[in-house]
Amino acid sequence: MAPVLDTRSVSPADRRDYWSEGIAQHFFPMRVEAVGATSFEARLAGGDMGPVAVRSIQGLPHRVARTQQMIAAADPECILLYLLTKGSIFIEQDGRSCVLRPGAIAWQDTSRPSTFEGRDGFEVLVFSVPKWFIGSRADGIARRTATRIGGGEGRLTPLAAPFLASLARTVIEGEGLPSREAEGAAEMILPLLRSHDDEEGALESTPRSEMLLARMQRYVMEHLRDPELGPEQIARAHYVSTRYVHKLFAASGAGVSAWIREQRLEGAAGELRKSPETSIAAVAARWGYLNPASFSRAFREKHGCAPRDLR
C-alpha cells in the first residue's frame, strides 16, 4: 500500500507542519519536533482491522509530545500498542519510560500526557485499540503503559511479535479483510493486552457488550439531528453488524429505532418549550424529522398532545 503520509512529497521547510497536521487527522493532535537531524522525514501507511486502526510509521529521529490541552481537544480513548521493527524508540508516560529495540512491545494511553521519540531511523507498527473494545480491563492495562515487554525482556511469548507483524502486513499491504474476519482478527490482540493487566485475574465487572452499547448510545445522542441516523449507520461507525446493533439495544429493553425516536422526541419537546418563535416544521427537521406530519403523529403518541398544544 502506498504511504498515506510522506513528508518527501513537500518541501523540507514544510515537512514538520505537514506531518503534524497529517498525524492529527490519523491519530490526534500532537507536537512534533525534529531530534538531531538536519532534515525531517517520515512516512505513514495503514488500514483498519475492524475497530482497530493499524499503522506503519517510518522516519528519521523525531519527538512527538501529547499534552493535557491536546487531550482535552481530542481524545479517541484508545490504547496505542507499539511493535518496533527497526531502530529504537523511547516512550514515556505517568513517570514510567522505556526504550524499545526491534521485537519489543509497549503501549501508551491516549487519555494522558505522553512522549514518543523515534531514534536511529526507526520503523514501528502501531495498533490503535479502542478502550471500549478491550472492555473493563482497559484501566488496568492503561496502568502498565511505557513498560517494555518482549524483545528479550519480560514474559511475552516470542510468538507475539511475529503474529502482530503478520496481522499488520495483512492489513497494510493487502486488500483488507471482510468485516466479520476483520473483527475476529482484532479480537486476537486482546489476550496479549489483557495478559498484562495490572489486576491479572480480575473478573469482568462490566461486560464489553454493555460498554459498547453505552458508546453506541453516546453516538446516537451526538447524531440525533441526522435524518439518516439508524441501525446501519451505527453499525458502520462501530465496525459491527446491523444485527448486532439490534441485539444490543434489545437487551437493554428498547429497540434501536424506538430508542432513537424517544431521544429525538424528548429533544424536540425541549426545544418547543424554549424556542416558541421557531416553527414546528423547523424544530422537526432539526431533530431528524423531514416530514412534519410524521413528526406530529410520533409526538402525539409520545407526549399525548400535538406539538402546538405543548406550546
What average pLDDT does this structure show over 69-88? 91
Question: What residue type is 35 in one-letter code?
Answer: V
The answer on pLDDT for 176 being more than 80 is no
Residue 21 has a pLDDT of: 83
The confidence score (pLDDT) of residue 151 equals 52
What is the full DSSP assignment across the chain?
---SEEGGGS-GGGHHHHHHHHHHHHT---EEEE-S-SS--EEEEEEEETTEEEEEEEESSEEEEE-HHHHHH----EEEEEEEEEEEEEEEETTEEEEE-TTEEEEEETTS-EEEEEEEEEEEEEEEEEHHHH-TTHHHHHTTTT--EETTBSS--TTHHHHHHHHHHHHHHSS---HHHHHHHHHTTHHHHHTT-TTTT---SS-HHHHHHHHHHHHHHHTTT-TT-SHHHHHHHHTS-HHHHHHHHHHTTS-HHHHHHHHHHHHHHHHHHH-TTS-HHHHHHHTT-S-HHHHHHHHHHHHSS-HHHH-
The pTM is what? 0.65
pLDDT band at 158 (very low <50, low <70, confident <90, very high): low
Choose between 175 and 123: higher pLDDT.
123
Q: What is the pLDDT of residues 221-240, one digit of tens each?
A: 888 888 888 888 898 888 77
**Residue 115 reports pLDDT greater than 90:** yes
Residue 310 has pLDDT above 90, yes or no: no
Quote the pLDDT of residue 145.
92
pLDDT at 250: 78
Give all domains of the chain, ordered by start, each with its CATH number. Answer: 5-194 (2.60.120.10), 208-310 (1.10.10.60)
Residue 109 pLDDT greater than 90, yes or no: yes
Instruction: Pick the closest to residue 80 from 155, 156, 121, 141 (CA basis).
Output: 141
pLDDT in tens, 25-46: 777 777 787 776 567 888 889 8
The rounded mean pLDDT for the chain is 81
Specify the pLDDT at position 107. Answer: 95
pLDDT in tens, 186-216: 888 888 887 776 544 333 434 567 788 888 8
Query: pLDDT grade, residue 87 (50/70/90)?
Result: very high
pLDDT for position 59: 87
The confidence score (pLDDT) of residue 265 equals 85
Q: Which residue has the higher pLDDT, 199 or 18?
A: 18
pLDDT reported for residue 199: 47
- Mean predicted confidence (pLDDT) in 234-254: 79
Predicted pLDDT of residue 155: 46
Asked if 204 and 138 touch (Cβ cutoff 8 Å), the reply is no
pLDDT given for residue 150 in this prediction: 63
